[in-house]
Amino acid sequence: MAGSPSKPRALFDDDRTGIIYRTAARIIYEKGFDATSMSEIAEALDLTKPGLYYYVKGKKELLYSIMGFAMDLLDSDVVEPSRQIADPEERLRVIIRLHARLLTHEAGALGILIDEDGGLSDEQREDIVNRKRDYFEFLRRTLEELRESGRLRQVDSTVAAFSLLGMVMWIARWYDSKGRLASETVVQDVTEIALAGMLMPTSAQPSMSLAQAL
Amino acid sequence: MAGSPSKPRALFDDDRTGIIYRTAARIIYEKGFDATSMSEIAEALDLTKPGLYYYVKGKKELLYSIMGFAMDLLDSDVVEPSRQIADPEERLRVIIRLHARLLTHEAGALGILIDEDGGLSDEQREDIVNRKRDYFEFLRRTLEELRESGRLRQVDSTVAAFSLLGMVMWIARWYDSKGRLASETVVQDVTEIALAGMLMPTSAQPSMSLAQAL
């Protein structure tokens, strides 16, 4: 599982940049960005310092690459598989399930670092903020579509989208893949809680309840 | 409002330590703990460096005091007013409402720093972790009481408690008291979303639905 072993097993396979970013994310998360040196990251990867510089230009560039990598994963594993789903309720269910699954499988550090952009340049930060905003708007528009079809609770869609994000992003902070809870239990329960929090209860449609009861 | 002015207005009233902790939290959050100096904090408070050391022993002590202050606020403003409520559903509603309200009124930095304990000593970290665990268990036990009375969804209470926490704690990261949304809108919507996510839908109790329909 990502984030558990300190030494990568397959640095020279196709996923070498992924391994570098995940390992670096874990060290930066544990020690703080300022206190982490490129030497430590190289050592954890069994690379020489010049070896590490072959893959990354410098520490600031590395942090930006880690965040870009995390956003790429979000795009490929969550946004791409869900964006074509026409029904907003089904789309929302798939978004939450896939995002929760990504966070239970990936190193927690990757999910947490994405919000700690203090080490980026202004230009780098702007790029990451824009990519996050795109995802937020994807969520919010899905909620607005739910509202149009009468299925969203009477809540502000911005508050609702941030509540969803908080619930899901928090997984990176508390879930331990070596603990008691299977990742699919977490994915299933978070999806149920999040959807129930968003959707109008069916009992709020009295004519349907009546029809069902009779 | 907390977190808005850079200069405190009333450093010598009874709330002087609160002002010191809130101001320091904002600077540490913006610059990172390692990059923040005691001189900068003193300057932002219009204090001399010795003046600041009259209130706090040192930088590490300050971070610990800030976290203790945040946990004290949680105790006084959320736990104390809700712990005596006998009905678990009403207790949960009050906990969420008061915690969300605390986070919309307090400086966001205070709510975020509480999870960034990298600068603490082992002993200090253990104390803060224990206090957070107490709050988490207070939440989880309330959910288990709901389960005993048949009102909790079929979800794991640990997953549910962390989902609640994530939703509420996220407010510190996104809510801007100078933005479009009134704090009470956020409090009300987050409370509705969170409770709906936890509680068994009434339509899952068919005999009651039938009774209501007829």
Tell me what pLDDT residue A205 has.
46
pLDDT of residue B4: 43
Mean pLDDT, rounded, of chain B: 87
Measured between beta carbons, which residues in chain A are less than 8 angstroms from residue B31?
118
Q: How many residues are present in chain B?
A: 214
Residue the block writes with tokens 């069994």: A46
pLDDT of residue B14: 53
Roughly what angle, to the nearest 10 degrees, separates helices A59-74 and A88-105? Answer: 140
- Most confident of the ranges A45-59, B12-26, B104-118: A45-59
Nearest to B93 by CA among B195, B161, B197: B195
Which pLDDT tens digit goes with each residue over B132-184? 999 999 999 999 999 999 999 999 999 999 999 999 999 999 999 999 999 99
Cβ pair B193:A163 closer than 8 A:
yes
Are B192 and A155 a contacting pair at CB < 8 A? Answer: yes
pLDDT of residue B110: 85
Quick check: B193 and A159 CB within 8 A?
yes
What are the structural domains, with CATH classification, of chain A? 60-200 (1.10.357.10)
In tens, the pLDDT along B157-167 reads 999 999 999 99
Cα–Cα distance measured from residue A7 to residue A21, given in angstroms and rounded to the nearest whole number: 13
SS (H, E, C) B160-184: HHHHHHHHHHCHHHHCCCCCCCCHH
* Structure letter (DSSP) for residue A55: H
B214 vs B54, more confident:
B54
**Cα gap B118→B122, rounded to integer Å:** 10
| Smallest Cα distance from B8 to chain A, Å | 25
* End-to-end CA separation in angstroms for chain A: 52
Chain A hits for B196, Cβ within 8 Å: 153, 196-197, 201
- The number of C-beta contacts closer than 8 angstroms across A and B is 134
Q: Does A135 touch chain B (CB under 8 A)?
A: no
On whether any CB of chain B is under 8 Å from the CB of A51, the answer is no
- DSSP structure class, residue B151: -
Dist. CA B117–CA A150, nearest whole Å: 44
One digit per residue, pLDDT tens: chain A, 214 residues?
A: 344 444 444 444 457 888 999 999 999 888 888 889 999 999 999 999 999 999 898 888 999 999 999 999 999 999 999 999 999 999 999 999 999 999 998 877 888 888 877 788 999 999 999 999 999 999 999 999 999 999 999 999 999 999 999 999 999 999 999 999 999 999 999 999 999 999 998 744 444 444 444 4
Task: Provide the chain A residues 61-120 that lie in CB contact (below 8 A) with chain B.
Answer: 115, 118-119
Write out chain B residues lying below 8 Å of A118, CB-based: 30-32
**Closest chain B residue to A174, measured at CA:** B162
Q: How far is B14 from chain A (nearest CA, A)?
A: 33
Tell me which chain A residue has its CA closest to the CA of residue B198.
Answer: A193
Contacts with B118 from chain A: Cβ below 8 Å: 30-32
| Predicted local confidence at residue A29, as pLDDT | 85
Using CA coordinates, name the residue in chain B closest to A194: B197
3-class state of residue B33 by DSSP: coil
- Cβ–Cβ contact B122 with A under 8 A: no
- pLDDT (0 to 100) of residue B162: 98
Interface test with A, best of B112, B113, B155 (most A CBs within 10 A): B155
Distance of CA A202 to CAs A8, A78, A141, A153, B32, Å? 50, 28, 22, 11, 47
Are B201 and A197 within 8 A, CB to CB? no
Q: 0.90 cut: is pTM over it?
A: no
Of A170, A193, A198, the CB nearest to B155: A193
User: Are A173 and B197 inside 8 Å of each other by CB?
Assistant: no
Backbone angles phi, psi at A25, to 5 degrees: -60, -45
> Helix or strand or coil: residue B199?
strand
Q: Higher pLDDT residue, A213 or B96?
A: B96
Rounded Cα gap, residues B170 and B174, in angstroms: 7
Rounded to whole angstroms, the Cα distance separating A48 from A56 reads 13
Rounded distance between C-alpha atoms, residue B72 and residue B168, angstroms: 17
CA geometry: angle A132, A31, B175, nearest 5 deg: 35
The residue of chain A nearest to residue B189, with distances taken between CA atoms, is A155
